[in-house]
Structure 1
Amino acid sequence: MKKVVFLNNLSCVKEIFNKEKGRGCFVVFEEDKLLLEVKSYLNLREDCHEIRREDIFLSKKESFSKVYSRAMTCFIKGIYLDEKWGLNCLSKSPIATSLVNSVIYILGLVEILKKKDFDFLLVLTHDVDLYKQIKQIKLQDVTASNKLSWNFNFKERIKKSFPVSIIFIAFRVIYRKLLCKFYLKTKIKFEKEYVVVMSLLNYQCFGREYKDIYFCDFVKYLEKKEVNFVNFMEVCGGFFENIKNIHKYKKSFIVPKEHFVSYSAIWKCLGVSLKYYWMGMSSKNKFRVFDIDCTYLVEKYMEKEFTSTRFFFNLFMFYSVGCLAEKVKVTKYYYPFENRSFEKMAILALRENSQGTRIIGNQHAALSLKHINFYVDDNDYNSMPLPDKIFTTGQITESLLRDEFNLKREIVSEGCALRKKTKTIRLKEYTGNIKTILVILSTDIKEYCGILNFLNEAMKDIHDCRVIIRPHPVIPLKNALDISPFFDFEFEEQKGDVSIEEAFDMADMLLYTSSTLVVEALTYGLPVVYINNLDFLETDPVYGHKGLKWNISAPEELKKVLEEISVMNQESFIDCQRKSREYAEQYMSTVNEECLERILSKN
């Protein structure tokens, strides 16, 4: 009889080793100060070895995305409510929800428990739902026990007992609407025809001049052509500060999504959110992935979303876009396409309130095989809200969407990278020496901790390199350092006011695991190194490229790559730079007026 124990504290581990005899192993599903302490203790023991979470369930790695997607499509079909599209956990996005990772962990545990030869398995996690899901699967000759320490969280308890946060967010919408009413002066006329460009508004939009984060030159082109358009914005950061900036920059076409929404729509949105807070939502179908029933997990994630503000946020997109379509004639609706829940709610609103609107998605960032939210199963076309057209950043991403993510040819067309700099970029000079490593952090805290722990090991044998860490603008590095504070290597944090061009000029090499910036680095002719195996799914946006790029899977491999780059002759280096720039240009095509006109007129 095998035993699997879920735990998160060192005292329980010591207690288990005092009682248990035989061969043990352990797997770590989260990385924080507490669990890393337990991991360090276990690594010192000779009677217990680690199974890396990156190595679990490898036999099904290639087919996981399609199988998971089909299982989710089947589960969604059992829910006969349009509001289901407002749930992040049903969108298949591994960025918007951690359900994907939880399912992978369950499938991995089942495989370990069936195949590995040991007497007991320790699972280091804080997630009690993993334990409960394993208990429901009822594996033969396996006993599961829960030794997780439970800390009382007053805030979470209140949230589950009473919808305080949902009511608060509804009143915040009213407050924002009032700010728009008193401080915004728009020239938008009701009943008139408009092109709508939905985007994100934050401090990065306001520099020497206004710049739309996602649509950049396209918005400038609309201004130049004197097209009637609305920049329909999701405001991120200080709302009042952004309202003042709109007024300061005299951009009357910029309108936060709270501006058009009616008070009755706000109350409806709150009412529907409260309905599902109390009553929930269920499917008549099971959620089975590789014949393993993971229904408990997906239902728990649905429950968490209904009791948080995430569902309200996505549902509000339906009501705000619906009110916009009632007040102006939306001829075309452009938005950043990631196939996420709030996008689907906006599409539903337009199809209900403005049937003649042409809906166009802008695939704006690099793609990796981890982005399974982009995958559209053949059965999804009958029900999933999708745009009429998607224009891509270039030729390579067009092929990826069609061939890897199963999007129909008539939907996808090659466009250009609207976020890409249009100026001519000089290739990085060959130095034959790596003195400065630029490390890009991008996706989430899990990725931050993974890269930092990887570097902590890798830099023990590297003493003459300067390490610069550039975190994502909205995810502070401090959040990861608070979780994993045990780092021996020296590094500098690069602040957000340093432009990416300046960052590339400082660096001799780029280290990454998922960032879109790798494509821009290849354009500059900067050597790039992908850290593999930090995730079960492939996170490399340029996994098909073999130019000025190296892959590493273990910390000790970084030193070997540095040595390999250093001994390259100038001719080989420049040849690789040329190939990488050509690849990057096909991945993210340069913006020109012909492409902008095609996006405006032919989509």
Structure 2
Amino acid sequence: MRTIVLCNRLDRLQKITAAANRPLDFICLQSPLENLDALDFLRSAPDCTEIPAVRLAGDLKAGFRKDFIDFMGRTNAANHSQDWWALPFTNKNALTGGLCRNLFQFQLVAGAVAEGGDDQFLVVLTSNCELAEQTKRWGRGCGFLVRSDVKNEANAREIARKLLPLGPVKSILTTGLMWALGRRLRPGKDGSGRKTLIATHTHARSFAQEGTYEDAYFGPLVGELAQSEQGPVVVGLPYEQPLGQMGQMKRLRAGFPVLPVESCLALSDVLVCSLRALWAYWRPTRVRQTPFFRGADVSYLMREAIRESTRSGDFFISLKVLHAARWLSRRVGLTRCLYPFENRSWEKMLVMGMTEGSPDIRMVGYQHTSMTPHHANFFMAEGEAAITPLPHAIVTCGDVTRDWIIEEGNYPDGMVTSACALRQTLAENPPAIGKDSKSNTPIKNLLVILATGEEEYALTFQFLSEALEGNERFQVRLRPHPNLPMLEVPDLPGVSISTGPLPDELQWADAVLYASSTVSMEAIALGIPAIFLDLETFLSTDPMYGWNGFKWELSEPSQLAETIDEIQSIPQDRFQKLQQRGLDYVYSYLKPVTPANMRPFWDS
């Protein structure tokens, strides 16, 4: 009989292998941030054969993304309702929530099983309890012997979060306090019908200078609106430090109102949202049809995704936006609403609330930054757009993302058009490629851009540790994300931390290495070659995915030196042609802010 054991404990694994009395296969699905003693043990043990997760993932990646989008499209079509759209996982974003990753890892387990015979003994190294339970249910249904020895250290906060509605209650209390403190910011009744609403996330940095406001997504567009006849009203969900932002809003002298979303709620709205969120916590939504992914019943993973959504405060926040949008659209004469488009739950609630209160309002979503295959939230299954609360128009930061969304997104014809990159600061006229451009010889200074989080940091350090072993050739600077602290610095020859301004660091760099950051595009615009580090995550994190005009890719650490040699060997005239190709690409991806490029915000 085929046997599957899921485990993350070395002591249990030693007993399991000793009792097996036969060769075994194993696959490692643990995070690089975990203790990997169990993996080291299996790799050194006799009669243990590793099935590389990297190889299986490479085979799986090609079709998985589309299958996941289609799966979520079917599920959304079968269950769509206000409460359903308020669940964050319904947006398909692979970077938020665990459903996409759990499905991917479950397919890796199924792939490892498919490689074995009827008497296979498979060990799955994982600390993912949801994956373990899903595998148990699936395996027993297939007639396999499945055992889980996955145990994680008890975390009091996580235990409390599962037993008590801490997430919803925290959001409810914060909203109640913001509502009480923000009542004098409550907008008065205005039926003039000449207002444009900017619905956004506000940040502490948006109020960097006392009395001023700089929107993190729409930047110069808000200033343009302030000087036009259609003065803006900015309504924000504070992203951090809500009470501090409230004080800044009260002292604002920007010439237009910036309001917290709570100021657009009646007390009855707060009570209704609170009761609905608490009810959803205790009685989560049930799916109307059994969800199957690639032929396997994944009801358990779907139920866990729903529970995770209702345990957080996000479900309440989405309901709050619905009620605030409905109230505001009935009270203030609005002709147009602009918001950052990522197809999130609160955005769908914004669309529903605004169009319910003011049916003639024009809703425009702004796709504001780079996209990667992780961002499945921008793509619809066939027919899904018809049942999804969407804006009337979507404007993108450039032609590259526009074309990708039109080609694969399944949106109605004419909905998507390109505008400009309000968050980036490319010069209106591209710099000329010529004698003053960066040369490709010699390449000694490597700037490594870190971005998304601890796992990317750890995988990058692991990659560099192998690539730079015995390094005497390169000087390497690691540049952490401004919002993410640096982890322990790897003790590698020639490696230091980047502390200077980014323009100075790019001037220093001969090449830029990255795993997900859009700084790679800023480098290409300056004629600096970019090298993508494929860190073997379950979906590509490359914002320039599918384009290699002035970009190189590394899947193995040993490829670094030879790739640098390849770049250096390019004749200078051809290198400059590649630089021009890169410059053209970046200016198509992140179109500069000009009056002509801003027109789609008014005309769409």
Q: TM-score surpassing 0.5?
A: yes
Q: Deviations over 1:156-194 (max 9, x none)?
A: 222222223322321111212333346x5x886544432
Contact kept? 1:27, 1:124, Cα under 8 Å: yes
Specify which of 549, 552, 559 is matched with residue 551 of structure 2: 549
Written as runs of structure 1 = structure 2, the 5 A alignment for 1:123-522 is 123-137=124-138, 138=140, 140=142, 142-181=144-183, 190-193=190-193, 194-207=195-208, 210-247=213-250, 250-251=253-254, 252-423=256-427, 426=431, 429-430=438-439, 432-478=441-487, 491-494=495-498, 499-522=501-524
Q: CA, structure 1 residues 353+524, in 2 after alignment: closer, same or farther (shift >3 Å)?
A: same
CA drift at 1:292: 1.5
Letter of the 1:467 counterpart? V
Q: CA, structure 1 residues 352+492, in 2 after alignment: closer, same or farther (shift >3 Å)?
A: farther
Q: CA, structure 1 residues 176+436, in 2 after alignment: closer, same or farther (shift >3 Å)?
A: farther
Letter of the 1:243 counterpart? M
Three-state SS of the structure 2 residue aligned to 1:326 is helix
| Distance in 2 (alpha carbons) for counterparts of 1:553 and 1:134 | 29
Q: CA, structure 1 residues 148+217, in 2 after alignment: closer, same or farther (shift >3 Å)?
A: same
Aligned to 2:68: 68
Aligned to 1:109: 109
Which runs of no fewer than 5 residues in structure 2 stay unpaired?
A: none
| Distance in 2 (alpha carbons) for counterparts of 1:315 and 1:526 | 46
Residue 78, structure 1, aligned to residue 78, structure 2: yes
Q: CA, structure 1 residues 159+527, in 2 after alignment: closer, same or farther (shift >3 Å)?
A: same
* More displaced 10-residue stretch of structure 1: 56-65 or 380-389: 56-65
CA drift at 1:86: 1.2
Three-state SS of the structure 2 residue aligned to 1:378 is coil
Contact kept? 1:468, 1:494, Cα under 8 Å: yes
Letter of the 2:244 counterpart? E
Three-state SS of the structure 1 residue aligned to 2:123 is strand
| Distance in 2 (alpha carbons) for counterparts of 1:98 and 1:172 | 26
Q: CA, structure 1 residues 187+303, in 2 after alignment: closer, same or farther (shift >3 Å)?
A: closer
| Distance in 1 (alpha carbons) for counterparts of 2:298 and 2:490 | 35
CA drift at 1:592: 0.4
Letter of the 2:550 counterpart? L
Root-mean-square deviation (Å): 2.6
| Distance in 1 (alpha carbons) for counterparts of 2:361 and 2:467 | 53
| Distance in 2 (alpha carbons) for counterparts of 1:98 and 1:493 | 32
| Distance in 2 (alpha carbons) for counterparts of 1:247 and 1:429 | 48
CA drift at 1:116: 3.5
Letter of the 2:364 counterpart? I
| Distance in 1 (alpha carbons) for counterparts of 2:494 and 2:159 | 40
Q: CA, structure 1 residues 474+342, in 2 after alignment: closer, same or farther (shift >3 Å)?
A: farther
* More displaced 10-residue stretch of structure 1: 141-150 or 45-54: 45-54
Contact kept? 2:385, 2:412, Cα under 8 Å: no
Q: Deviations over 1:29-88 (max 9, x none)?
A: 232554333333333345334333333254453232222222222223332632101112
Three-state SS of the structure 2 residue aligned to 1:95 is coil
Which runs of no fewer than 5 residues in structure 1 stay unpaired?
A: none
Q: CA, structure 1 residues 31+491, in 2 after alignment: closer, same or farther (shift >3 Å)?
A: farther
Three-state SS of the structure 1 residue aligned to 2:234 is strand
| Distance in 1 (alpha carbons) for counterparts of 2:233 and 2:512 | 38
| Distance in 1 (alpha carbons) for counterparts of 2:324 and 2:461 | 40
Q: Deviations over 1:260-319 (max 9, x none)?
A: 222211111111001111111111212211112112101111112212223222222222
Contact kept? 1:31, 1:449, Cα under 8 Å: no
| Distance in 2 (alpha carbons) for counterparts of 1:562 and 1:234 | 45
Aligned to 2:47: 47
Letter of the 1:589 counterpart? K
CA drift at 1:437: 2.2
| Distance in 1 (alpha carbons) for counterparts of 2:242 and 2:592 | 33
Letter of the 1:332 counterpart? R
* More displaced 10-residue stretch of structure 1: 506-515 or 282-291: 506-515
CA drift at 1:384: 0.9
Contact kept? 2:5, 2:123, Cα under 8 Å: yes
Letter of the 1:227 counterpart? Q
Give me the TM-score of the superposition, normalised by structure 2: 0.91
Contact kept? 1:71, 1:289, Cα under 8 Å: yes
CA drift at 1:403: 0.7
Letter of the 1:128 counterpart? C
Give me the TM-score of the superposition, normalised by structure 1: 0.91
Q: Deviations over 1:428-474 (max 9, x none)?
A: 52261333322223334333332232222222143343333333344
Q: CA, structure 1 residues 36+509, in 2 after alignment: closer, same or farther (shift >3 Å)?
A: farther
* More displaced 10-residue stretch of structure 1: 485-494 or 312-321: 485-494
Q: CA, structure 1 residues 267+494, in 2 after alignment: closer, same or farther (shift >3 Å)?
A: farther
Contact kept? 1:107, 1:292, Cα under 8 Å: no
Three-state SS of the structure 2 residue aligned to 1:546 is coil
CA drift at 1:552: 0.9
Letter of the 1:110 counterpart? A
Contact kept? 2:136, 2:148, Cα under 8 Å: no
Three-state SS of the structure 1 residue aligned to 2:549 is coil
Contact kept? 1:72, 1:287, Cα under 8 Å: no
CA drift at 1:359: 0.7
CA drift at 1:493: 4.1
Three-state SS of the structure 2 residue aligned to 1:317 is helix
CA drift at 1:330: 2.3
| Distance in 1 (alpha carbons) for counterparts of 2:81 and 2:549 | 48
| Distance in 2 (alpha carbons) for counterparts of 1:394 and 1:410 | 16
Contact kept? 2:515, 2:542, Cα under 8 Å: yes
| Distance in 2 (alpha carbons) for counterparts of 1:315 and 1:472 | 32
Letter of the 1:152 counterpart? A
Q: CA, structure 1 residues 77+429, in 2 after alignment: closer, same or farther (shift >3 Å)?
A: closer
Three-state SS of the structure 2 residue aligned to 1:56 is helix
Contact kept? 2:171, 2:313, Cα under 8 Å: yes
Letter of the 2:56 counterpart? I
| Distance in 2 (alpha carbons) for counterparts of 1:80 and 1:368 | 26
Three-state SS of the structure 1 residue aligned to 2:145 is strand
* More displaced 10-residue stretch of structure 1: 331-340 or 238-247: 238-247
| Distance in 1 (alpha carbons) for counterparts of 2:351 and 2:554 | 41
Contact kept? 1:25, 1:121, Cα under 8 Å: yes
Aligned to 1:587: 589
Q: CA, structure 1 residues 298+444, in 2 after alignment: closer, same or farther (shift >3 Å)?
A: farther
Contact kept? 1:113, 1:142, Cα under 8 Å: no
Three-state SS of the structure 2 residue aligned to 1:62 is helix
